Chains A and B, each alone.
Chain A
Amino acid sequence: MKALVAVKRVIDYNVKIRVKQDNSGVEKENVKMSMNPFDEIAVEEAIRLKEKNLIDEIVVVSIGSDNVQETIRSALAMGADRGILVKTENELEPLAVAKILKYFVEKEESDITILGKQAIDDDYNQTGQILAGLLNYPQATFASKVIKEDNAMLVTREIDGGLETLKINLPCIITTDLRLNEPRYASLPNIMKAKSKPIDIIELKELNLEITNRLEILEVKAPPERGGSVKMLDNYNELIDVLKNKEGIL
């Protein structure tokens, strides 16, 4: 049994985002980059399945420029077995990313493919579902619990109003929500060990896939500021008073 995990390199979630002066995007120079937090959860879940001897190998795939190797290395340091970097300088949309991932899910014959539910940069929340659609595989998105049962996965999902549990056959696609697990920190020995784990580097064009972006980003702006500044009140009576008499809400 094999697991394939897709990871994305994004601006670290703690960084305060700055929009570029020319409105062409956000500032990425000299900004801390990390693995998308949901993808870390995906890597962690695959490792836990491996620790339970439910899968034998974890392959990590990422798409981007050379420095994405760092992100793959950190997944290897957590415990994944090998990496694949698909090299391109273009920023790809979820449909394009899913087409590339489809190629590798099929080539590697992945039984369980795990992705983060969304990337915290473009916030699309699409790639896993598109991948499942392209492959016509069963999907369980926004997973907060994953159990293997015979030749299927029992997945509890976070939905509007609560939780839902599905049973999906293998091969399948799972996307992770925040409460699925808490990703481990890589230990120093594992970081050292990861340096000798293999990463295959493949140019996107070598794959001969039909990939074109469908969307055009015309502009990226800072969001409108909230008007005015905070009025600090001295006590709860003042608060009730402004809400009643000034705002007319209560």
Chain B
Amino acid sequence: MSCLVIAELENGTPNRPSLATISASLELESTIDLLVFNPDKIDEIKKIKNVKKIYSFKNKIDNLLAEDLVNCLKQIAANYKYIIAPSGTFSKNFIPRLAANLDLQPITDIIKIHDKNTFDRPIYAGNAIATVRSHDKTIMLTVRGTAFQPFAQDGGSAEVELLPDLLEGNHSKFINKEITKSERPELSSAKIIVSGGRGVGSKDNFKIIEELADKLNAAIGASRAAVDAGYISNDYQVGQTGKVVAPELYIAVGISGAIQHLAGMKDSKVIVAINKDEDAPIFQVADYGLVGDLFTTIPEITKEI
């Protein structure tokens, strides 16, 4: 019995949330198997310590559909005690579908491992933490990347098994994708995040946030209100229903601090809030607060550092 980790890659190797997922998995089993969708850098991935086997495909697979992926995975997955993936929109799309095929009840978004079948996960936008025990024969989990350290040991020499190409079903078809291109660091791996809210006021004004972010080599984040208003695209949303981040420094600019937003950032190491309303709830979770108009304050900070 062992553990299959379905990893997501960034530039060909497991991204930060996937490395954190590997750490979590190694708390459960002493070795793991990995599945990756791009074989290009498999020789590098092979070196990750305690990985016994890597499944991949002959060619890189883009635009995976949950239907096709699950049809392929359900064969392999049945042999494992654990099936684990990093939390995120990719795994949320297929893990439950796979679970349906195997008659399993996944535990999504775990933040702590108590024992082989007991885990903590946040509920109610992180306003409560549930300790949950699974009685399933195979335990399916998704792991919050912010809750575990990224695994960084090498010295492994995994064997590689290439799987046959995914069969495309004929009931779902990929049409197109609009991916936001950015030179900035990824939200999920950035050390610093500068996040803008409704207070920023317009898409044009969002430049103020971008300039500060660039000066700090930071990623950009946003509240739902900023995304809904079209200041920036959806994949920058931080919160209960967006991304969950925990950088060393999170600077919240013109964000009031609704619980749904806090759910995505309150585990950041240092939180700075800049808001013109001194009663804004964001100050209740911040380490440092500055009451002021962002339109004067932010350019000043950008200039000064």
Minimum Cβ distance to chain B for residue A207 (Å): 18
A129: B residues at CB distance < 8 A: 66, 92-97, 100
A230 & B108 in contact (Cβ 8 Å cutoff) = no
Residue of chain A at shortest CB distance from B224: A178
- A45: CB under 8 A from chain B? no
Determine, out of B27-35, B39-47, B129-137, B149-157, the stretch whose residues face the partner at the interface.
B129-137
- Provide the main secondary structure of the chain B interface: mixed
* Given known A-B contacts A94-B105, A130-B100, A216-B133, A226 and B285 have beta carbons under 8 A apart: yes
B96 & A94 in contact (Cβ 8 Å cutoff) = yes
- B266: CB under 8 A from chain A? yes
Scan residues 175-213 of chain A and give those whose CB is less than 8 A from a CB of chain B: 177-179, 213
- As a 0/1 sequence over residues 107 to 137 of chain B, the CB contacts with chain A under 8 angstroms (1 = contact) are 1110000000010001111111111111110
**Whole-angstrom distance between the alpha carbons of A213 and B90 in the complex?**
26
A237: B residues at CB distance < 8 A: 304
Minimum Cβ distance to chain A for residue B79 (Å): 19
Query: Which of A94, A138, A140, A161 gathers the greatest number of chain B CB atoms within 10 Å?
Result: A161
A125 & B94 in contact (Cβ 8 Å cutoff) = no
Determine, out of B48-56, B158-166, B172-180, B195-203, the stretch whose residues face the partner at the interface.
B172-180
Residue of chain B at shortest CB distance from A167: B173
Scan residues 129-183 of chain A and give those whose CB is less than 8 A from a CB of chain B: 129-134, 137-142, 144, 154, 158-169, 172, 177-179
Determine, out of A56-64, A70-78, A106-114, A238-246, the stretch whose residues face the partner at the interface.
A238-246
A-B contact pairs, 25 of them (CB 8 A): A26-B128, A123-B122, A123-B125, A125-B108, A126-B99, A130-B97, A132-B97, A138-B172, A139-B97, A139-B172, A159-B93, A159-B177, A160-B88, A162-B177, A163-B234, A166-B172, A177-B241, A222-B127, A231-B287, A231-B288, A232-B283, A232-B290, A247-B249, A249-B192, A250-B216
A residues at B contact (CB < 8 Å):
11, 13, 16-17, 19, 26, 93-95, 98, 117-118, 120-134, 137-142, 144, 154, 158-169, 172, 177-179, 213-223, 226, 228, 230-233, 235-237, 239-240, 242-243, 247, 249-250
B residues at A contact (CB < 8 Å):
63, 65-67, 70, 88-90, 92-101, 103-109, 118, 122-136, 169-180, 191-192, 216, 224, 227-228, 233-235, 240-241, 248-249, 259-260, 266, 270-273, 278, 283-292, 297, 300-301, 304-305
